[in-house]
Amino acid sequence: MENNINVKPLKHRTFSFYRAKAFYLRWFVRILLIIYTAVILYPLLWNVMSSFKTNYEILVSLTAFPQALAWENYVRAFTVANMGAFMFNSIFVVTLSLALLLIFSVPLSYAMARYKFFGSRALELLFAMCLFIQGVYIIIPLYVLLFNLGMLDNLWALSLVYAATGIPFSSFLLAGYMRTVHRSYEEAARIDGCSNWQILLRIVAPMSKPGIITISMLNVMGFWNEYPMALVFLSSPENRTLPIGVALLFEVQRRATDFGALYAALMIVLVPTVIIYLIGQRHLIKGIAAGGMKE
């Protein structure tokens, strides 16, 4: 006895089906990105508008455009709120921290990328583990160490701490980028009589410029906005950095009415990081993408 089984033929999906699916998927991703961009840009634009409003305009309407550009808000932020001195301290700390970071990270990254020695693998694993240890987690031991060394309330010591906490991430990322530099360039330089330091400074470092720019940008933005360690390690008003100054200004303005100066101070903190990102975003994306590659 034969069983009659109706077997339905498989429907072959045509090229137009996959094309339509990709089309809708692209638009779905675009809509999500548009929504995400709007969520990010709205507070930024609102802050920009509020920084040019008078206190009366801010109290009357938070979303209305300013009737005139109140540049005096920025003047009061620099003079009355002392943001100019705080900005100078932040620039000093960021510049010194970045210089120390590059001095130690670039040679260390080259050693990790090119030389195999006893404990080199353990060193890489140690640096990888340090990626998950933020400075805030070890702030108490750091405070005790600086106290015993007599280096509290010192911008130079704060710069050294910033550089030390940024070395693991910077070295790990830059070593990955240096592995993408072909060894033939180094071999040719070594045949010409270059030493290891000359190869690093004249060959590898220039060819790793996108990676160096990447770690510089990421660390500058992190140093510029860092708040907890600066709050704990600095006590004198003349040594305060911008994040501390803005936080103190916010506490003062909660009981006052000079909101225009507060929003202007927030813009003073925000604008430098935005400018740095816009200038180096191409190198940043390239450096991060190549940093995870191996030769």
CATH, domain range 81-291: 1.10.3720.10
- Show the tokens assigned to 129: 């583990």
81/97 Cα distance (integer angstroms) = 25
- Show the tokens assigned to 271: 């604008």
pLDDT, residue 262, reads 83
pLDDT string in tens for the chain (295-residue length):
455 555 445 455 566 767 777 888 889 999 999 999 888 888 888 888 888 888 888 888 877 888 888 888 888 888 877 888 898 999 999 999 999 999 999 999 998 888 887 877 888 888 888 878 888 888 999 999 999 999 999 999 999 999 999 998 898 888 888 888 888 888 888 888 888 888 888 888 888 888 888 899 889 989 998 999 999 999 898 899 988 988 887 777 666 667 888 888 888 888 888 887 777 777 666 655 554 444 4
219/226 Cα distance (integer angstroms) = 10
Label residue 17 exposed, middle or buried (CB < 10 Å: 0-12, 13-18, 19+).
exposed
Find the helix packing angle between 83-114 and 259-291, rounded to 10°.
10
216/101 Cα distance (integer angstroms) = 9
What's the one-letter identity of residue 144?
Answer: V
- Show the tokens assigned to 238: 């003349």
pLDDT, residue 10, reads 45
250: nearest Cα among 232, 269, 233: 269
Domain ranges of the chain: 15-51, 81-291
- Are the C-beta atoms of 181 and 207 separated by less than 8 Å? yes
pLDDT, residue 292, reads 47
Q: Which residue has the tokens 């160490």?
A: 145
242: nearest Cα among 264, 259, 211, 275: 264
